[in-house]
């Protein structure tokens, strides 16, 4: 009897060029070809700490500073990313297949990077999307980008800890039109009693 393909999870990030070029819909449509399920999604501003931790393996590469600036939105008007967790059989390989090669000029033209990516005159690979490459990388990245309660499934072991921190909440009053200004938020929302991954 054939073995069942293991259920996997993978981190996908639509990078600032994807959002600035309004490619979100196109990218999600391409990703839907994998028939995987989205288990978490959020838009966020990427702090330097998060960017450096995410790309820690590239610390000694000559293009490290450019990659950090790129993921933080330093080259684009929309300084944010959309982070998602996809789950399902063979999720890592399936998402990588539709993502395409790292170098957008070498990526197959039917892949997301081949279709929408470019190399800038400064040599930055604007390749539109990030996708985990292994089970270990996916676990490290998902735990870095998401808290357990932001994902609809318990993908990894968690424990509950008591912490006392300040947290922003909505006010009960209805906003007047004048106060409906849009202010970017980069602070994480921290709960008083929260699960953390072990």
Residues at the site binding ligand IDP, with contacts judged by CB under 6 A: 58, 63, 67, 102, 123, 125, 127, 130, 133
Q: Which residue is nearest to ligand IDP (CB)?
A: 102
CB of 127: closest distance to ligand IDP in angstroms? 5
Task: Give CA–CA dist 151/193, Å, rounded.
Answer: 17
The reply to whether 76 belongs to the active site is: no
Tokens of 3: 């073995």
Nearest to 71, CA basis, from 146, 135, 127: 127
CB nearer to ligand IDP: pick between 75 and 125: 125
Quote the least distance from Cβ 39 to ligand IDP, whole Å.
Answer: 21
Q: How far is the CB of 137 from ligand IDP (least distance, A)?
A: 8
* Nearer of residues 80 and 130 to ligand IDP, judged by Cβ: 130
Nearer to ligand IDP, 63 or 90 (CB): 63
Smallest gap, in angstroms, from Cβ of residue 104 to ligand IDP?
9
Nearer to ligand IDP, 38 or 67 (CB): 67
Strand segments, DSSP code E, in 15-150 are 37-44, 81-89, 118-119, 125-126, 129-131
DSSP string for residues in 124-157: -EE-SEEE--SHHHHHHHHHHH--GGGSSS--S-
Which of 54, 60, 76, 130 is the catalytic position? 130
Cα–Cα distance between 114 and 107 in angstroms, integer? Answer: 5
Q: Are the CB atoms for 1 and 48 separated by under 8 Å? A: no
Catalytic residues, by residue number, are 130
């Amino acid at each position: 009897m054939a073995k069942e393909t293991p259920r996997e999870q993978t981190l996908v990030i639509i990078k600032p060029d994807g959002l600035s070029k309004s490619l979100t819909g196109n990218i999600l449509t391409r990703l839907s070809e994998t028939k995987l399920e989205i288990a978490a999604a959020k838009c966020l501003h990427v702090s330097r700490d998060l960017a450096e931790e995410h790309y820690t393996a590239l610390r000694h590469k000559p293009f490290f500073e450019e990659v950090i600036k790129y993921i933080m939105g330093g080259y684009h008007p929309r300084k944010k990313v959309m982070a998602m967790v996809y789950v399902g059989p063979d999720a890592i390989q399936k998402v990588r297949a539709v993502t395409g090669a790292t170098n957008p000029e070498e990526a197959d033209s039917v892949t997301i990077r081949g279709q929408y990516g470019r190399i800038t005159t400064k040599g930055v690979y604007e390749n539109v999307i990030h996708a985990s490459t292994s089970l270990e990388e996916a676990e490290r990245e998902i735990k870095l980008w998401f808290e357990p309660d932001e994902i609809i499934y318990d993908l990894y072991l968690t424990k509950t800890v008591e912490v006392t921190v300040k947290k922003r909440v909505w006010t009960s009053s209805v906003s007047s039109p004048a106060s409906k200004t849009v202010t970017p938020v980069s602070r994480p929302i921290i709960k008083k009693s929260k699960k953390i991954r072990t």
